[in-house]
Protein backbone atom coordinates (compact mmCIF):
# COMPACT_ATOMS: atom_id res chain seq x y z
CA UNK A 1 0.00 0.00 0.00
CA UNK A 2 1.24 3.46 -0.91
CA UNK A 3 0.35 6.68 0.89
CA UNK A 4 -0.18 9.98 -0.94
CA UNK A 5 -0.68 13.71 -0.58
CA UNK A 6 -2.90 15.63 -2.99
CA UNK A 7 -3.13 19.40 -3.19
CA UNK A 8 -6.25 21.39 -3.92
CA UNK A 9 -7.17 25.02 -3.66
CA UNK A 10 -10.07 25.26 -1.20
CA UNK A 11 -11.62 28.07 -3.21
CA UNK A 12 -11.92 25.66 -6.13
CA UNK A 13 -12.45 22.36 -4.33
CA UNK A 14 -11.83 21.87 -0.61
CA UNK A 15 -12.22 19.06 1.86
CA UNK A 16 -15.77 20.17 2.69
CA UNK A 17 -16.69 20.01 -0.98
CA UNK A 18 -15.48 16.42 -1.10
CA UNK A 19 -17.44 15.54 2.04
CA UNK A 20 -20.58 17.00 0.45
CA UNK A 21 -20.40 15.06 -2.82
CA UNK A 22 -22.67 12.11 -3.59
CA UNK A 23 -21.00 9.10 -1.98
CA UNK A 24 -18.39 11.63 -0.81
CA UNK A 25 -16.44 10.79 -3.94
CA UNK A 26 -15.05 12.97 -6.73
CA UNK A 27 -12.94 12.46 -9.86
CA UNK A 28 -9.58 14.21 -9.45
CA UNK A 29 -9.70 15.84 -12.86
CA UNK A 30 -7.65 18.58 -14.42
CA UNK A 31 -4.14 17.37 -13.60
CA UNK A 32 -1.94 18.45 -16.51
CA UNK A 33 1.49 17.60 -15.22
CA UNK A 34 3.28 14.49 -16.39
CA UNK A 35 4.84 13.52 -13.10
CA UNK A 36 1.53 13.76 -11.29
CA UNK A 37 -0.21 11.96 -14.12
CA UNK A 38 2.24 9.09 -13.99
CA UNK A 39 1.56 8.59 -10.32
CA UNK A 40 -2.18 8.51 -10.86
CA UNK A 41 -1.97 6.35 -13.96
CA UNK A 42 0.60 3.84 -12.78
CA UNK A 43 0.75 3.76 -9.02
CA UNK A 44 -2.42 4.86 -7.24
CA UNK A 45 -4.50 1.86 -6.20
CA UNK A 46 -7.98 1.56 -4.74
CA UNK A 47 -7.77 1.94 -1.00
CA UNK A 48 -4.52 3.93 -0.93
CA UNK A 49 -4.77 6.57 1.82
CA UNK A 50 -4.41 10.24 0.82
CA UNK A 51 -3.68 13.40 2.78
CA UNK A 52 -5.92 16.21 1.52
CA UNK A 53 -3.88 19.43 1.39
CA UNK A 54 -5.21 22.96 1.00
CA UNK A 55 -2.94 25.22 -1.07
CA UNK A 56 -3.09 28.87 -2.03
CA UNK A 57 -5.13 29.93 1.00
CA UNK A 58 -4.82 31.67 4.36
CA UNK A 59 -3.57 28.57 6.16
CA UNK A 60 -1.97 26.11 3.74
CA UNK A 61 -1.74 22.64 5.22
CA UNK A 62 -3.13 19.16 5.59
CA UNK A 63 -6.81 19.29 6.46
CA UNK A 64 -8.12 15.77 6.08
CA UNK A 65 -7.82 12.21 4.88
CA UNK A 66 -9.24 10.63 1.76
CA UNK A 67 -8.66 7.40 -0.10
CA UNK A 68 -8.42 6.28 -3.69
CA UNK A 69 -11.88 4.99 -4.64
CA UNK A 70 -11.23 4.17 -8.30
CA UNK A 71 -7.94 3.53 -10.05
CA UNK A 72 -6.78 5.39 -13.12
CA UNK A 73 -9.07 6.12 -16.08
CA UNK A 74 -8.96 8.78 -18.81
CA UNK A 75 -9.65 12.36 -17.70
CA UNK A 76 -12.61 13.22 -19.91
CA UNK A 77 -12.30 16.95 -19.24
CA UNK A 78 -9.32 16.95 -21.59
CA UNK A 79 -11.70 16.29 -24.51
CA UNK A 80 -14.27 18.98 -23.64
CA UNK A 81 -13.59 22.26 -25.47
CA UNK A 82 -15.72 24.08 -22.89
CA UNK A 83 -13.76 22.74 -19.97
CA UNK A 84 -11.11 24.84 -18.27
CA UNK A 85 -8.67 21.94 -18.61
CA UNK A 86 -9.36 21.19 -22.27
CA UNK A 87 -6.30 19.90 -24.10
CA UNK A 88 -6.67 20.23 -27.88
CA UNK A 89 -3.77 17.85 -28.44
CA UNK A 90 -5.34 15.08 -26.40
CA UNK A 91 -6.88 12.21 -28.36
CA UNK A 92 -9.78 10.14 -26.92
CA UNK A 93 -8.42 7.06 -28.70
CA UNK A 94 -5.08 7.49 -27.03
CA UNK A 95 -5.63 9.60 -23.92
CA UNK A 96 -2.82 11.71 -22.55
CA UNK A 97 -4.37 12.55 -19.20
CA UNK A 98 -5.67 10.28 -16.50
CA UNK A 99 -7.38 10.68 -13.17
CA UNK A 100 -8.48 8.70 -10.16
CA UNK A 101 -11.56 8.99 -7.97
CA UNK A 102 -11.01 10.15 -4.42
CA UNK A 103 -13.33 9.43 -1.49
CA UNK A 104 -13.65 11.39 1.74
CA UNK A 105 -12.54 9.59 4.88
CA UNK A 106 -12.40 12.25 7.60
CA UNK A 107 -11.27 15.73 8.45
CA UNK A 108 -8.36 16.21 10.82
CA UNK A 109 -9.18 17.74 14.18
CA UNK A 110 -7.11 20.72 13.11
CA UNK A 111 -5.15 21.90 10.11
CA UNK A 112 -1.54 20.78 10.23
CA UNK A 113 0.00 23.84 8.62
CA UNK A 114 2.79 23.92 6.07
CA UNK A 115 4.87 25.99 8.49
CA UNK A 116 4.55 23.31 11.14
CA UNK A 117 5.38 20.54 8.68
CA UNK A 118 8.50 22.41 7.61
CA UNK A 119 9.73 22.55 11.19
CA UNK A 120 9.82 18.77 11.59
CA UNK A 121 13.24 17.20 10.99
CA UNK A 122 11.45 13.88 10.42
CA UNK A 123 9.78 15.35 7.33
CA UNK A 124 12.88 16.81 5.69
CA UNK A 125 12.54 14.40 2.77
CA UNK A 126 8.84 15.07 2.18
CA UNK A 127 8.49 16.60 -1.29
CA UNK A 128 5.98 19.11 0.04
CA UNK A 129 8.56 20.92 2.16
CA UNK A 130 11.36 20.91 -0.38
CA UNK A 131 12.24 24.17 -1.98
CA UNK A 132 10.41 25.07 -5.13
CA UNK A 133 8.31 21.94 -5.18
CA UNK A 134 5.20 22.28 -7.29
CA UNK A 135 3.95 18.74 -7.56
CA UNK A 136 0.23 18.54 -6.88
CA UNK A 137 0.38 14.82 -6.10
CA UNK A 138 3.24 13.22 -4.21
CA UNK A 139 4.03 9.97 -2.43
CA UNK A 140 4.25 9.90 1.36
CA UNK A 141 6.17 7.15 3.14
CA UNK A 142 4.57 5.05 5.85
CA UNK A 143 6.89 6.67 8.38
CA UNK A 144 6.00 10.18 7.22
CA UNK A 145 2.30 9.33 7.27
CA UNK A 146 2.42 8.02 10.84
CA UNK A 147 4.52 10.93 12.01
CA UNK A 148 2.16 13.52 10.53
CA UNK A 149 -0.86 11.83 12.05
CA UNK A 150 0.95 11.92 15.36
CA UNK A 151 0.98 15.73 15.14
CA UNK A 152 -2.80 15.95 14.92
Partner DNA sequence: GCCAACGTTGGC
Please report, as ranges, the residues that interact with DNA according to CB under 7 A.
7, 9, 32-34, 55-57, 60, 114-115, 131-136
- What's the CA gap between 90 and 67, in Å, rounded? 28
Sheet holding 25-27, edge to edge: 25-27, 98-113, 61-74, 49-54, 3-8, 137-140
Closest to DNA by CB, 2 vs 90, is 90
Assess contact for 18 and 102: CB atoms under 8 A: yes
Closest to DNA by CB, 22 or 100 = 100
CA 138, 106, 146 angle in degrees (round to 5)? 50
**Under 8 Å CB-to-CB from 147, ≥6 apart: which residues?**
120, 122, 123
Give 49 or 60: the residue with its C-beta nearer to DNA: 60
Smallest separation, CB 35 to DNA (Å)? 7
Q: Which residues pair with 67 in a beta bridge?
A: 49, 103
Residue 9 or 146: the one with the smaller Cβ distance to DNA is 9
Beta carbon of residue 23, minimum distance to DNA (angstroms, whole number): 26
Q: How far is the CB of 129 from DNA (least distance, A)?
A: 9
Closest distance of CB 81 from DNA, Å: 16
Complex with DNA: residue 3 or 97, whichever CB lies closer: 97
Give min distance, CB of 114 to DNA, in A: 5
Name the maximum alpha-carbon separation found in the chain: 46
Amino acid sequence: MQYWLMKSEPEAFGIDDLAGRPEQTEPWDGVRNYQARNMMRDEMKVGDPVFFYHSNCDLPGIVGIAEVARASYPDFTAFDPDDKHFDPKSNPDKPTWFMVDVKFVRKLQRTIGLQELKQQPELADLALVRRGNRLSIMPVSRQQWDFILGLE
